Amino acid sequence: MEQFASALLDITSGMGYWGIVILMAIESSFIPFPSEIVIPPAAYLAYKGEMNIYLIILCGILGSLIGAVFNYYVAMWLGKPLAYKLVDKKWAKYLLLSRSGLEKAENYFNKYGSASTFFGRLIPAVRQLISLPAGFVKMDFGKFVFYTVLGSGFWVSVLAALGYFFGENQELLKEYYREITIGLIVLVALIVAVVLLKKLIASRRVSIE
């Protein structure tokens, strides 16, 4: 564990801020690359005074947005039928792409609408694919960018806080990361419940009027 953590710190230190942008752009696209091994090590370097925590968060958000926009336009260009054909190809599994994963992201988008591009950024297995259904339906680009930046900003900030305060103790980081992840899922569920409740109340008011 210590050797792996040390290697991550060396890589992050060597690549600098642009490295964070590039790696987070990859993570935000459909290529499997977890943000958990990008932001926390960089944040720990900020704790040591070798990087700036605010620039790390900014670069993380920028990279996430770049990857999300890439997915958005790819989905818009390919269209839904062709996208599903591609994820059915044998090589798609090497990118951790599957029909079930895409269907999950699309169902999530259809259920929660534009705001799902915010909620989806906080949910594993949905985070990398939520931009695709947004591209399928040609979601308003301004809204897409707004919700993506909001969700990515929240997620990156959480990872940065974990790396900054617990990065030196890998076991402690691992323990709190698991707890924070569970907490995020609960928080997202509560936010979704509030949004749905507001929509239900609004629809009932309209029907009464």
Structure tokens, 10: 């060396």
Q: Find where tokens 């895409």 sit.
A: 102
Where is pLDDT greater, at 174 or 16?
Answer: 16
Q: Answer for the pair 25, 64: CB distance below 8 angstroms, yes or no.
A: yes
What's 90's DSSP letter? G
What are the tens digits of pLDDT across the range 20-30? 898 888 888 76
pTM: 0.74
Q: Give the chain's mean pLDDT.
A: 76
Q: Name every residue whose Cβ is closer than 8 Å to that of residue 52 and which is 6 or more positions away in sequence.
A: 46
pLDDT band at 62 (very low <50, low <70, confident <90, very high): very high
What are the tens digits of pLDDT across the range 81-132? 777 777 777 766 666 677 777 777 777 787 777 777 887 777 766 777 788 8
Q: Name every residue whose Cβ is closer than 8 Å to that of residue 103 and which is 6 or more positions away in sequence.
A: none
| CA–CA dist 96, 11 (Å, integer) | 24
| CA–CA dist 199, 23 (Å, integer) | 37
Res 168: pLDDT: 59
